[in-house]
Chains A and B, each alone.
Chain A
Amino acid sequence: MSLQSEIGTFVAAVLNYFDTAVQQPAVVGTPYLALGKAPEVFDYTGMIRISGKRKGVVYFTAPKGMLSVMLMRMQETDMSDANLRDLVGEVANTLSGNARKDFGRNFIISTPSVVAGSSTTIGYSPDTRPIVVPIDWRAYHANLVVCLN
């Protein structure tokens, strides 16, 4: 499976989450490489780590406002930190599920984890250029970052 297909799987997972869980489609911007500095991290980030045929990290990072509106769309009234963490965790879980289904046994995918705070540093191999896929939803902007060698 090529890196291109793998990124496609992750993008499809995120878009599908917006279509089905949030019931309002998101739009993918033009992907680009994070050169020179680490990609921007928003308030909440759900990530999975991958080893095996490829190594690296894939994460969905979104601002608090966006996640709060997503929760509202999902008929949730609890906008607590825990619930926002659960939401990005759920997106990361979708990334993990799709990856497990599509990539096969050559990939080992970690349990999804969640970090909060825009000053968080997410570690990745310095030999790798992260590919940032902008995810636009309503007036909000999130990023899907794929950093695999």
Chain B
Amino acid sequence: MKRRRHDFDLAQLLPVVVATTFAAVLTLLLTLGIQRASQLQSASSALQLASELRSLPQYFGTELTLVQRGLESRTFIGEPLADIAAAREGFDKALERIDTDLIGAGLGGTVEIQRVRGALDAAWARFSPLLVAVDSHKGTPYSDTLSGSRLNSTGRALKSDVDAALAAQDESMRDVGGALKDLATGLQDAVGDRGGSLRSFLMIGAAVSGLLLALMLYFALRSRRAADDARRAERQVADILGTVREGLFLLDRNLSLGHVYSASLTRILHTEQVRDTSFEDLLRPLVPAKTLATAMKFVNLLWKEKVHEDLIDTVNPLNQIEVQFAKSGGGTDSRHLSFAFKRVKNAGGQGEHLLGIVTDVTDRVQISRELEQSKAENQAQLDLVMQLLQVPGAQLQSFVRDSDMALRKCNAILKQPGREESELRSKLNGVFREVHTIKGEAGAMALTAIASRVHQLEESLVALRDRARIDGNDFIPIVVKLDELMSYLGGVGQFADRLSEVQPKGDTMKSVVPPLLANQMLAADTPSLEQVLAKVVKETASAHGKRVALQCRGLEAIPAPYRKAARDITIHMARNAVVHGIETPDNRASASKSETAAVRVSFDDAGAEGYVLTVEDDGQGLPYERILDAALRKGLVSPADAARMERPAVYGLIFRAGFSTAETVTEHAGRGVGLDAVSQTVRDLGGSIGIATSDGKFTRFRMKLPQAVSQAGAAHVA
């Protein structure tokens, strides 16, 4: 991987390196070419001057001769003298320019040129003073006499200098001409040499340029191919990201999402605001604050090299989360998402990004739940069958009939008109009472599978009751569960019918159930209320770590129309007595009471005054303060009302819907429904309830029932 990355870098840099090198070579060649061209120009200039100077010796001879003849003929000689002076000065200047050009042509240090140049100077130095002597004469060379013009002294001196110059002219001019010829020859060679160099540089430059052009074409083609490959790869990546069902994204060290992510990401997260968004902002609307904080800690941990990402994945708080998305038409859609993370390392093994993978696992979760539910239902059905086999068929049929009636009553309550909050809460409490009664019956018959099923409906009712505001829409889960419960109990009813068919036929039953169970079933008659209460008290006491002895009196004398109501009432109250009234054995011992508590249930005929059903325990008495606290906490009374309430009124609160002093909810208590149901039942029967209690000593509920049972009351409880 490292090698490949290195190759990639070289491949990227090669065109730059080559172009730079070639440009440097070309620059060098051009510089040298310019230098050679400049030298060539200087050498050419010097050659031209040298060539021009070669005619001057002859010119000097001619002008000197003109001066000589002028002197002899006594004519005007000023012009040839001036020409000599100008030519001489021109020669001097030309020599200076030649020197400058020689330096410019790089010939200043050339031995041969210096030698030739020295010879020229020497030859000129010999002749030049003679010319200076001639052209420096001033004044008229003639004097007029009667016999004509004669040379005066100036003229004679001039003539002498001219003669001397002419005498030396041939030799000197030959030397100067020879030196100029040699110089010209040397310069011609230099020009040829510089021209050749310049040509060479230009040819090399052209070749280098051509090569550079070829290489640039090659690199351009290669770059285009690479660009095509890159575009193809980009298209393929885009195809993958557009097709993959998972939401893929990259997180940088600031935990911000990059520009590249799969199309599914926005669909899964139900947002288009993904690019450059911080992961925290992305999660914030999806998860609770606590989960968000944990998730951010987890993701930050992934950047630490020492942390093993596979091991830490086991504590990923986003491994499976349930999120709610708002639906366009209102309401929310619950989805299950799974986030996974992988480190993305660069060529140097350093973590550059985190690859995030988010998957909508709702279907998988639902299938898993359905599977779990199916398993649980199978187990529950098995448990139910085992429990049903232990209940006499007639009793089971009675239970199913009563439960069905209670559920129909729940449905009738729901069907009643009434949309106001108070009306909805009244409906809720009504349904609560019925459901709780079914659960109590099921529990009393040890049909825990059914009790558990009813308990689920109770859970939904509790959740609804605890809401600050409720509306009709909130009852949808209730009616769905009610439907499910009716179907469930319908199945139980069918089983009860079959059971009642086979129960009298002992041989037949033995053939379908285990012998031990069959014997139990045969032995079991419909249990009396006392037996049911004994079972309820025993199980409840066991569940709460208490010791309780039940004492019953007169229950067999309860008139038939009251039996169902008395059964419901006493089951609730006996269970309440054990859970709330009776202390633990330790507490009883410390209060100098027997560790085994007593619960007494009695039914008395009071003659014309009707009947009295009493449920009494020798427990701690009604806790006045706890009742008041609980009522305040649940908002059943205002603080102002609480301050004014007398003890009997406070005790009366325990019959209010939703009241419970239990800290936690169990199958036996905590819903705040039992005494509400009892109160309602007694009221429906036209009776009343009285409470007597003493702190640390006892609690007694006396329910007075009228002598004659009205048709309406009987129908209600039947």
The verdict on A12 contacting B329 (CB below 8 Å), with A30-B424, A30-B427 known, is yes
- Asked whether B482 is an interface residue with its Cβ less than 8 Å from the other chain, the reply is yes
* Shortest Cβ distance from residue A48 to the other chain B in the assembled complex, whole angstroms: 15
Contact A32–B477 (Cβ < 8 Å): no
- Which of B333, B473, B477, B482: most chain A Cβ within 10 A? B473
Residue of A nearest to B334 (CB): A5
For window 1-31 of A, CB contacts with B under 8 Å fall at 1-5, 7-9, 11-13, 15-16, 19, 27-31
- Asked whether B386 is an interface residue with its Cβ less than 8 Å from the other chain, the reply is no
- Asked whether A108 is an interface residue with its Cβ less than 8 Å from the other chain, the reply is no
Complexed CA–CA distance, A35 and B477 (Å) = 18
Contact B419–A136 (Cβ < 8 Å): yes
A102 cross-chain contacts in B, Cβ below 8 A: 327, 333
Complexed CA–CA distance, A136 and B476 (Å) = 16
Complexed CA–CA distance, A98 and B486 (Å) = 29
Contact A134–B486 (Cβ < 8 Å): no
Q: Interface with A: B289-297, B409-417, B569-577, B622-630, which one? A: B409-417
Complexed CA–CA distance, A24 and B483 (Å) = 32
A3 cross-chain contacts in B, Cβ below 8 A: 480
Contact A30–B472 (Cβ < 8 Å): yes
- Asked whether B607 is an interface residue with its Cβ less than 8 Å from the other chain, the reply is no
B228 cross-chain contacts in A, Cβ below 8 A: none
Complexed CA–CA distance, A35 and B415 (Å) = 11
Complexed CA–CA distance, A84 and B436 (Å) = 46
Residue of B nearest to A28 (CB): B472
| Per-residue A-contact encoding for B317-357, CB less than 8 Å = 1, 0 else | 00000000001111101100000000000000000000000
| Per-residue A-contact encoding for B409-452, CB less than 8 Å = 1, 0 else | 00100110111000010010000000000000000000000000
Complexed CA–CA distance, A131 and B479 (Å) = 8
Residue of A nearest to B404 (CB): A35
B483 cross-chain contacts in A, Cβ below 8 A: 33, 129, 131
Q: Which of B328, B424, B427, B486 contacts A33 (CB 8 A)?
A: B486
- Which of A2, A4, A15: most chain B Cβ within 10 A? A4
- Asked whether B126 is an interface residue with its Cβ less than 8 Å from the other chain, the reply is no
Contact A31–B486 (Cβ < 8 Å): no
* Shortest Cβ distance from residue A127 to the other chain B in the assembled complex, whole angstroms: 9
Complexed CA–CA distance, A3 and B484 (Å) = 11
Contact A11–B411 (Cβ < 8 Å): no
Q: Which of A33, A132, A134 contacts B482 (CB 8 A)?
A: A33
Q: Which of B414, B418, B419, B477 contacts A4 (CB 8 A)?
A: B477
- Asked whether A41 is an interface residue with its Cβ less than 8 Å from the other chain, the reply is no
B486 cross-chain contacts in A, Cβ below 8 A: 33, 129
- Asked whether B234 is an interface residue with its Cβ less than 8 Å from the other chain, the reply is no
Contact A98–B329 (Cβ < 8 Å): yes
- Asked whether A91 is an interface residue with its Cβ less than 8 Å from the other chain, the reply is no
- Asked whether A133 is an interface residue with its Cβ less than 8 Å from the other chain, the reply is yes
Q: Which of B334, B408, B418, B479 contacts A31 (CB 8 A)?
A: B479
Q: Which of A4, A11, A27, A132 contacts B480 (CB 8 A)?
A: A4
Interface size on A, residues (CB 8 A): 31
* Shortest Cβ distance from residue A83 to the other chain B in the assembled complex, whole angstroms: 24
Contact B476–A4 (Cβ < 8 Å): yes
Complexed CA–CA distance, A89 and B215 (Å) = 74
For window 213-246 of B, CB contacts with A under 8 Å fall at none
B475 cross-chain contacts in A, Cβ below 8 A: 30-31
Complexed CA–CA distance, A3 and B483 (Å) = 11
Contact A12–B327 (Cβ < 8 Å): yes
Residue of B nearest to A27 (CB): B419
Contact A15–B330 (Cβ < 8 Å): yes
A15 cross-chain contacts in B, Cβ below 8 A: 330
B334 cross-chain contacts in A, Cβ below 8 A: 5
The verdict on A11 contacting B473 (CB below 8 Å), with A31-B414, A35-B411 known, is yes
- Asked whether B72 is an interface residue with its Cβ less than 8 Å from the other chain, the reply is no
* Shortest Cβ distance from residue B359 to the other chain A in the assembled complex, whole angstroms: 16
The verdict on A29 contacting B329 (CB below 8 Å), with A8-B476, A35-B408, A133-B476 known, is no
- Asked whether B471 is an interface residue with its Cβ less than 8 Å from the other chain, the reply is yes
Contact B329–A13 (Cβ < 8 Å): yes
A101 cross-chain contacts in B, Cβ below 8 A: 328-329
A2 cross-chain contacts in B, Cβ below 8 A: 480
* Shortest Cβ distance from residue B324 to the other chain A in the assembled complex, whole angstroms: 12
Contact A9–B419 (Cβ < 8 Å): no
Q: Which of A9, A31, A35 contacts B472 (CB 8 A)?
A: A31
Complexed CA–CA distance, A16 and B327 (Å) = 11
Contact B427–A131 (Cβ < 8 Å): no
Complexed CA–CA distance, A29 and B423 (Å) = 11
Residue of A nearest to B331 (CB): A12
Complexed CA–CA distance, A101 and B483 (Å) = 26
The verdict on A16 contacting B476 (CB below 8 Å), with A30-B414, A31-B414, A35-B411 known, is no
* Shortest Cβ distance from residue B460 to the other chain A in the assembled complex, whole angstroms: 10
The verdict on A33 contacting B479 (CB below 8 Å), with A12-B331, A15-B330 known, is yes
For window 37-78 of B, CB contacts with A under 8 Å fall at none
Complexed CA–CA distance, A7 and B414 (Å) = 17
The verdict on A16 contacting B330 (CB below 8 Å), with A32-B479, A129-B486, A131-B480 known, is yes
B471 cross-chain contacts in A, Cβ below 8 A: 27-28
B482 cross-chain contacts in A, Cβ below 8 A: 33
For window 470-508 of B, CB contacts with A under 8 Å fall at 471-473, 475-477, 479-480, 482-483, 486
Contact A9–B331 (Cβ < 8 Å): yes
A35 cross-chain contacts in B, Cβ below 8 A: 408, 411
Residue of A nearest to B366 (CB): A1
For window 534-562 of B, CB contacts with A under 8 Å fall at none
| Per-residue A-contact encoding for B6-44, CB less than 8 Å = 1, 0 else | 000000000000000000000000000000000000000
Q: Which of B419, B477, B480 contacts A29 (CB 8 A)?
A: B419
For window 447-476 of B, CB contacts with A under 8 Å fall at 471-473, 475-476
Complexed CA–CA distance, A131 and B414 (Å) = 11
For window 34-80 of A, CB contacts with B under 8 Å fall at 35
B408 cross-chain contacts in A, Cβ below 8 A: 35
| Per-residue A-contact encoding for B361-373, CB less than 8 Å = 1, 0 else | 0000010000000
The verdict on A29 contacting B417 (CB below 8 Å), with A7-B476, A134-B472 known, is yes
* Shortest Cβ distance from residue A134 to the other chain B in the assembled complex, whole angstroms: 7
Given contacts A8-B331, A27-B419, list 19 more A-B pairs with CB under 8 A. Answer: A3-B480, A4-B476, A11-B476, A12-B329, A12-B331, A13-B329, A16-B330, A27-B471, A28-B472, A29-B419, A29-B472, A30-B424, A30-B427, A30-B472, A30-B479, A31-B476, A32-B414, A98-B329, A102-B333
Residues of B with Cβ closer than 8 Å to A? 327-331, 333-334, 366, 408, 411, 414-415, 417-419, 424, 427, 471-473, 475-477, 479-480, 482-483, 486
A-B contact pairs, 27 of them (CB 8 A): A2-B480, A4-B476, A7-B476, A8-B331, A9-B331, A12-B330, A16-B329, A27-B419, A27-B471, A29-B419, A30-B418, A30-B427, A30-B472, A31-B475, A31-B479, A32-B414, A32-B479, A33-B411, A33-B479, A33-B486, A98-B329, A101-B328, A101-B329, A102-B327, A129-B483, A131-B480, A134-B472
Residues of A with Cβ closer than 8 Å to B? 1-5, 7-9, 11-13, 15-16, 19, 27-33, 35, 98, 101-102, 129, 131-134, 136
What are the nearest 3 A-B pairs in CB distance? Answer: A28-B472, A32-B414, A32-B415
